[in-house]
């Protein structure tokens, strides 16, 4: 290296975050403008959300996981850790809200504290940032959220 030359530097973490989150915010803005301009009705947003939740997201996760073996996907330690953290957050929320309302309110607060909504938030943020390995973690988190926490 030449004396006095500055070493090459990697992109800063804040710039990496912006490259991942900027498209998400642009899509939110585009949706707002589409409704504001009358291209889509507010009721259409519910239909689009259902499409993403019921078709696009499962198809994306299936595509990402189908390339891996079951042994590569299943991680009991991750499942137990995620479940333990979710149950702890639910319990804290439940007891925190007990002075302010009935059982429905306590369940609402507990779920708000424990349910991370990996499908709408985890997929668009983690996949571009961490790449395909994040799909396994997201899929396992969604198993805990949808099969255990949501019914609870």
Specify the pLDDT at position 1.
40
Q: Give the model's pLDDT for residue 11.
A: 52
- For 68-107, the pLDDT digits (tens) are 888 888 888 989 999 999 999 999 998 989 888 888 899 8
* Cβ-based burial of 110 (10 A; exposed 0-12, middle 13-18, buried ≥19): buried
- Terminal-to-terminal C-alpha distance of the chain: 60
Residue 37: pLDDT over 80? yes
Query: Model-level pTM?
Result: 0.66
Angle at 148 between CA 145 and CA 151, to 5 degrees: 100
Give yes or no for residue 29 having a pLDDT over 60. yes
Taking the C-alpha atoms of residue 124 and residue 120, their distance in angstroms, rounded to an integer, is 7
Average pLDDT of every residue of the chain? 79
């Amino acid at each position: 290296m030449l004396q006095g030359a500055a070493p090459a530097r990697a992109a800063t973490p804040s710039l990496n975050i912006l490259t991942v989150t900027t498209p998400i915010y642009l899509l939110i803005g585009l949706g707002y403008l589409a409704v504001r301009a009358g291209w889509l009705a507010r009721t259409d947003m519910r239909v689009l959300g259902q499409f993403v939740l019921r078709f696009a997201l499962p198809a994306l996760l299936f595509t990402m996981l189908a390339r891996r073996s079951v042994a590569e996907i299943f991680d009991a330690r991750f499942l137990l850790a995620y479940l333990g953290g979710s149950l702890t957050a639910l319990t804290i929320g439940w007891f925190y809200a007990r002075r302010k309302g009935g059982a429905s309110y306590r369940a609402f607060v507990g779920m708000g504290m424990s349910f991370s909504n990996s499908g709408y938030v985890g997929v668009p943020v983690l996949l571009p940032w961490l790449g395909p390995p994040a799909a396994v973690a997201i899929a396992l988190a969604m198993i805990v959220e949808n099969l255990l926490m949501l019914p609870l």
